Amino acid sequence: MLQKPKSVKLRALRSPRKFGVAGRSCQEVLRKGCLRFQLPERGSRLCLYEDGTELTEDYFPSVPDNAELVLLTLGQAWQGYVSDIRRFLSAFHEPQVGLIQAAQQLLCDEQAPQRQRLLADLLHNVSQNIAAETRAEDPPWFEGLESRFQSKSGYLRYSCESRIRSYLREVSSYPSTVGAEAQEEFLRVLGSMCQRLRSMQYNGSYFDRGAKGGSRLCTPEGWFSCQGPFDMDSCLSRHSINPYSNRESRILFSTWNLDHIIEKKRTIIPTLVEAIKEQDGREVDWEYFYGLLFTSENLKLVHIVCHKKTTHKLNCDPSRIYKPQTRLKRKQPVRKRQ
């Protein structure tokens, strides 16, 4: 055993310091390390910093010189970089000024775009003020908004309402394109929808984190998740955003779309127009169309990347266009198709 001693860089799990330690065997390095860090030898072992592989005497000779090792005591574990990332993430639970300042400092000098981006993202993530709700609590969030908006929920509500209103506006532009008798019926349908929308406050609750569980699309903290393209069950990219967090997210959120699964202009409106023209004594089920045009029944909140603009090639359900003919003809309740 005239092996040359091997020197390695050793650190303990909880210590930020590293020491150079040399030894001819695993056992020797371990012993010196425990001495150095004042740790009990019993139950302790060495592993590679890189991936957490535990060192054995057999393996020791093939460990490269100056390898980075971690000294673990009884019960401790190290899974390589992964553990470091876990610890890094834990900084997000309670972002400290120290962390923010350090990141800002690094960002100032950073030239490489990729690292720049990483640091900027980190700062962006840490400089959120999700809990704040009023203008007084988080003035930067409101920068550029009219003074009438005094709470984040209030503004988000408004922005949702105005999206929904614009759908209504588009439907409203159609009666003039149909004949006189159809027009009258169309206006009646429109009136019903309008009334419902008013009573629902234009479904502004979808964006309001303060709204009741079933009527909002976000978590109580304000997190929205992309619901994925119209023809998929979920978002493969797992997009998410919290417009309540800071001004940038608020603005970015405006690029997220409410996408009609069954398309408004290509399908729903033409079907509605047709239904009114051809009603032939039947009663158009305006509530069905209301659901398609204005509610989450047919609307998906999507990141712009998941917003497909191709024709969706979906049709309205023909069995729901007219109300079941109850009063006049039926003897028994109308059954759904079997």
Partner DNA sequence: ATTCTAGTATGTAGCGAACT
Partner DNA sequence: AGTTCGCTACATACTAGAAT
Site of interaction with DNA (CB under 7 A): 148, 158-159, 162-163, 165-166, 169, 172-173, 254-255, 257-260, 263-266, 307-311
Q: Residues in the chain, how many?
A: 338
Smallest distance, Å, CB 148 to DNA? 3
Smallest distance, Å, CB 309 to DNA? 4
Smallest distance, Å, CB 179 to DNA? 20
Smallest distance, Å, CB 310 to DNA? 4
Query: Smaller CB distance to DNA: residue 48 or 258?
Result: 258
SS3 (DSSP) at 71: strand
Smallest distance, Å, CB 158 to DNA? 7
Query: Smaller CB distance to DNA: residue 307 or 320?
Result: 307
Query: Smaller CB distance to DNA: residue 45 or 307?
Result: 307
Query: Smaller CB distance to DNA: residue 169 or 238?
Result: 169
Query: Smaller CB distance to DNA: residue 24 or 247?
Result: 247
Distance CA 232, CA 295 (A): 18
The encoded tokens of residue 187 equal: 């206006």
Residue partners of 265: CB distance under 8 A and separation at least 6: 170
Distance CA 175, CA 173 (A): 6
SS3 (DSSP) at 13: coil
The neighbour count for residue 276, using CB atoms within 10 Å, is 23
